[in-house]
Amino acid sequence: MGEHDRVVRDNVHRDIVLTDDMSRLVDTRTFQRLRDIQQWAPCHYVFPTATHTRFLHSLGAQHLAGVLLDHLETVNPGRISPEDARLVRYAALLHDIGHPPFSHALENDRVYATYKHHEKWGRLILEDHENDLRRVLIELIGEDGLARLFSILDGTCDLPVLHDIVSSQLDVDRLDYLMRDQINTGAKIGTFDVFRIFRSLRIDDDGHMTVTRGGVAEVESYLMMRYHMYHNVYFHKLNMLTTAYVIRALVRARELVQAGELTVSRRMERMLTDENLSVKDYLALSDSLIHAELSAFATHHDPTLSKWASLLASRSGMHKRLRVRNLTEVAFWGAKSSIEQLLADAGHDPEQDLIITRVRKEGYRPYSGGIRVEDGRDISEVSPMVASITAPLNDIMVFVPKDCREGAEAAMNAAMAGE
């Protein structure tokens, strides 16, 4: 450790050492904002301990990048220059700076008047000459270094492994968040040894990262854990439902603000209505802002706004998922009108109280930047286990008020029987 290095205590990696240059980046207001961006909001509504942040995850990702870079220098000495190794750690540290409040849950163009993906926002932040994080980067690596950093982040650099470490199907981002999310949710869904995976990694002749045959079993464990975490944690039914509540509340808030019937904070107003949201105003958005506004919405006179916010505030009267096995889109559309009539007869509003969420997630993708084994084959060609999880997850969840659940299930089952 250097004289000015700092140590951060972490529940996943124990000690994370921050060099002086890393500390300068971390101490900027732009990076410190990530303390107020949860890793998987609103996952905490389902897993109460899952309140960990993008701040911790980013520190963990750059820590793993450092461990992996040290290993690669041992097994493939000189392939990655010290300057590029430094930039890879910066890329791992900064890969999430563009995340919105509630992370992926609010990456939705129905909420923002100015919608951009978090990676686009991240690029705009680092291109903003007034931004404090950019200013520190320029002091540390100059304009040429920043251009090289961008090429690592977007995958246009001349040495592919630099991008692979930060963004691939076996990158330090995924490795850290899977370890961190399992620990902080309390989910016990398989495990993998990140250091065994690292020991199996090499740089191929063409500059890509590859896995030795001896490392295939550990990579299998990682991919299976990822598969089950998506099925059982990230796409948990209550996670999907509470996300729908949050989005519906904010969509209604946007309508009311535009109609002059709701007063919100200036920051929230910009988020909902500013069609040319600036980097500075985007960076003013955080989880605590959203939570405070949602809490106030619960007592608003508008019945639609208060309904969605109250369901989040009290969790009383939450909608129930239809317990129908192998539910298909065709069956849903076949039963939709019957279920809407059922809800209307029970005194509910079918437009509001029939909630549909769709789960779409690619499986392991050998055709799109897969994981290469040292003999040149994709891991799905070597491992029958990995080959079995290449199919995408494509599911539909239907939620209705509790008193309509059994009738809606009967209608859905009848529709499926008639397919």
Q: How far apart are CA 307 and CA 51, in angstroms?
A: 25
Task: Tell me the mean pLDDT in the region 359-381.
Answer: 79
| Least confident range of 150-164, 306-320, 362-376 | 362-376
Residue 376 φ then ψ, to 5°: 100, -15
Q: Would strands 201-203 and 14-18 be described as parallel, antiparallel, or unpaired?
A: unpaired
Q: How far apart are CA 223 and CA 84, in angstroms?
A: 28
Task: Say if residues 33 and 283 touch (Cβ distance below 8 Å).
Answer: yes
pLDDT at 394 over 90: no
Architecture of domain 319-419: 2-Layer Sandwich (3.30)
Domain ranges (residues) in the chain? 6-234, 319-419
Task: Tell me the mean pLDDT in the region 279-294.
Answer: 97
Q: What is the pLDDT of residues 198-219, one digit of tens each?
A: 999 999 999 999 999 999 999 9
Residue 4 pLDDT grade (very low, low, confident, very high; cuts 50, 70, 90): confident
What is the number of alpha carbons within 13 Å of residue 407 lying toward its C-beta? 17
Residue 419 pLDDT grade (very low, low, confident, very high; cuts 50, 70, 90): low
pLDDT in the model for residue 362: 62
pLDDT at 344 over 80: yes
Structure tokens at 267: 């920051």
Task: Tell me the mean pLDDT in the region 253-280.
Answer: 97
Q: What is the pLDDT of residues 30-88, one digit of tens each?
A: 999 999 999 988 888 899 999 999 999 999 999 999 999 999 999 999 999 999 999 99
Name the residue with tokens 């089950």. Answer: 228
Name the residue with tokens 């995958």. Answer: 155
Q: Which helix (H) or strand (E) holds 286?
A: none
pLDDT in the model for residue 365: 61
Q: Return the CATH number of 6-234, one of 1.10.3210.10, 1.10.3720.10, 3.30.70.270, 3.60.70.12.
A: 1.10.3210.10
Q: What is the pLDDT of residues 221-265, one digit of tens each?
A: 999 999 999 888 988 999 999 999 999 999 999 999 999 999 999
What is the number of alpha carbons within 13 Å of residue 26 lying toward its C-beta? 24
Q: How many CB atoms lie within 10 A of CB 188?
A: 7
More confident residue, 230 or 364: 230
Task: Say if residues 393 and 324 touch (Cβ distance below 8 Å).
Answer: no
pLDDT in the model for residue 2: 65
Q: If you average pLDDT over every residue of the chain, what do you get?
A: 94
Task: Tell me the mean pLDDT in the region 323-330.
Answer: 90
Q: What is the pLDDT of residues 295-313, one digit of tens each?
A: 999 999 999 999 999 999 9
Structure tokens at 122: 């991240």
- What's the pTM? 0.94
Q: Is 145 exposed, middle or buried (0-12, 13-18, 19+ CB in 10 A)?
A: middle
pLDDT in the model for residue 395: 84
